[in-house]
Amino acid sequence: MRRIRTRVILAMLLVALLPAVPLSLAVRGLLERSFGPVLDARLEAALAAGLAESRARLAERREALRQAAPALAAAGRPAGLVVADSTGVLLEAGGVAAGAVGGAPGGAPAANLTAADRQALQAWAAATRPTPIAPSVAPTGAPIEPPGAVLVEPQRVNEWLAALVAGEDGAPVAVAMRLPQGLAARAAALGDGYSLLRLLQQERAAVLRGYVLPFVAIYAVLVALALLAGLWLANRLVRPLEALAASARRVAAGDLDTRCAAHAGGEAGALVAAFNDMVARLAEQRRELARLERLAAWRNLARTLAHEIKNPLQPILLAVQSARQQYRGGDAEHARVLAECEEIVSEEVEGLRALVRGFSDFARPPEPRLADGDLRDLVADVARLYGAERVSVTAPAGDGSAAGGAAAGAAPAAPVPASFDAAELRRALINLVDNALAACAEAGVATPVRLACGRDERGAYVSVADDGAGVAPELLPRVFEPDFSTKKEGMGLGLAIVDGIARAHGGAVSATSEPGCGATFTIRLP
């Protein structure tokens, strides 16, 4: 059975692992399709080219700011803020809208410079400190920078490029020029994309592990569940089989009373139920075979005894009768003794003949001649043989007239049709009544024996009940055996003959009893 359990578990494990290879290939292909285009070298080259282009254009704008810075600073005031658009048109100078720089036509209105941009540029100007490239000190101690010199290289502030340049009086002036629309955003996006791409390239193995490891963990859980399911299924299947094997070994050893107590459902449960039913049938067949073997042995013995006893009976009786008849003497006492001997021998021979008849009836039960009839007539006929003071006819429980029931001592109101051999069934009832009367006599009970007949869902039946001492429960299974009798003078053939007659009719006879409360014998007919 261990091999069956192992095979079931291995089968479940194999079923769980077989999809692992195609699933792994599918997941790998999915990851390759997902990350392949992202990590492609062409994408990196394109991002690098776009980023270089953006940086080049940004460098151009820085150079343009350096070129325009002197002219812009000249339009500003000390420590003021000079702002121009991307074409060099002056927007503000020291907070006041100005005209063109370098003789250009009038610029756009100051409203083109938003308050947010102005605040950002002013904050940048306030936070930036100039770092002169080649500082020199005049005799008065003031720094000398040529007008228009760049003090702080151009830096990006939102959508602007801002720088600090020296004004006419040497004081730093913040100048700003708007970048072409979207240039800074595109440059930032390209830079972020390129950085992300490089990060993905560097962390490619970690990213793939981040996808593969959860897949492996989930699949490991599925495999564990498959193993648990296989173990559960194996135990559910193997335990009933182990119990069946153990029960089969006990049956092979001859124990037909064993039963498989394994609780199982489905096909295993059906197999257990079929096994128990088979063993029960085998036990019943063995009991029936043993009964038939004993019955056959007793019938052979009865046939032999009947033959051996019957042959000398008549010569014995004739010899005694001849001895009495041929006596010619005048001794009256001797004649009386001879007469008594003849009478005793005649009685004993008649008893032996009855015994022989019983043996013969038991050894060769006649084939019943079935005919349709009413069991009430048969029961009434048997009751008349014994008289109402010894045998009474009663209505069975549940049978009654239209008024609601039959009184004690009355036969059933409705006919009880059945197919039976009246002579044989009458002989069986007489045997049962004789046994019942003997039981009542031994118990000192004067109540009459009760005869009843009726029909229920199982067919017609006739019962004989008494109020004698009853039969002990452990003896009930043996009462119909030919070698068993509860009476001191019984031969043990009466109930065996009744059983044979009932079986010959295709029916059966049964007995129920409680010690001290009498017994009831019931013959059922099909």
Reading the block at residue 146, the tokens are 């040529």
pLDDT at site 406:
36
Higher pLDDT, 375 or 72: 375
Quick one: pLDDT band at residue 90, thresholds 50, 70, 90?
low
Task: Name the fold adopted by 371-397+408-525.
Answer: Heat Shock Protein 90 (3.30.565)
Query: pLDDT-derived band of residue 145, with 50, 70 and 90 as boundaries?
Result: low
* Domain residue ranges in the chain: 2-35+203-242, 42-129+144-200, 266-363, 371-397+408-525
Task: Give the three-class secondary structure for 403.
Answer: coil
pLDDT attached to residue 378: 92
Give the pLDDT band of residue 398 (cuts 50, 70, 90): low
What the block records as the tokens of 89 is 């048109």
Q: How far apart are CA 121 and CA 160, in angstroms?
A: 8
CA 108, CA 253: separation in Å to the nearest integer? 116
Winning range, highest mean pLDDT, from 56-60, 92-96, 296-300, 453-457:
453-457
In 3D space, the residue among 120, 129, 133, 131 whose CA is nearest the CA of residue 83 turns out to be 120
Mean pLDDT, rounded, of the chain: 75
Q: How many H helices and E strands in the chain?
A: 11, 12
Give the pLDDT confidence score for residue 108 in this predicted structure: 39
In this predicted structure, the answer to whether residue 136 has a pLDDT above a threshold of 50 is no
User: Scanning the structure block, which residue is given the tokens 């059945």?
Assistant: 418
Q: Map residue 130 onto helix, strand or coil.
A: coil
pLDDT tens track for 307-317: 667 677 777 77
More confident residue, 144 or 435: 435
* Stretch (H or E) spanning 438: helix 422-443
Pick the residue with more confidence: 519 or 351?
A: 519
Work out the percent of the chain whose per-residue pLDDT is above 90: 11
Average pLDDT over residues 403-410: 40
The full length of the chain comes to 526
- Residues whose CB falls within 8 Å of the CB of residue 250, separated by 6 or more in sequence, listed in order: 258
Q: Token pair for residue 355?
A: 């015994």
Q: Confidence class of residue 484 from pLDDT cuts 50, 70 and 90? A: confident
Rounded CA separation 226/206 (Å): 30
Lowest mean pLDDT among 236-240, 343-347, 454-458, 503-507: 236-240
Q: Hey, what are 126's tokens?
A: 């306030």
* Residue 400 pLDDT grade (very low, low, confident, very high; cuts 50, 70, 90): very low
The whole-number average pLDDT for the span 285-305 is 72
- Note the pLDDT of residue 412: 66
Q: Give the confidence band of 496 by pLDDT, cuts at 50, 70, 90.
A: confident
Q: For 367, which DSSP code?
A: P
Residue 56: band (very low, low, confident or very high) from pLDDT cuts 50, 70, 90:
confident
3-state secondary structure 256-305: CCCCCCCCCCHHHHHHHHHHHHHHHHHHHHHHHHHHHHHHHHHHHHHHHH
pLDDT tens across 168-216, in order? 666 777 888 877 767 767 777 777 777 776 776 666 666 666 667 777 7
Give, for 104, the enclosing helix (H) or strand (E). none
Mean pLDDT (whole number) for 442-465: 91
Question: Is pLDDT at 235 greater than 90 in this prediction?
Answer: no
3-class secondary structure, 526? coil
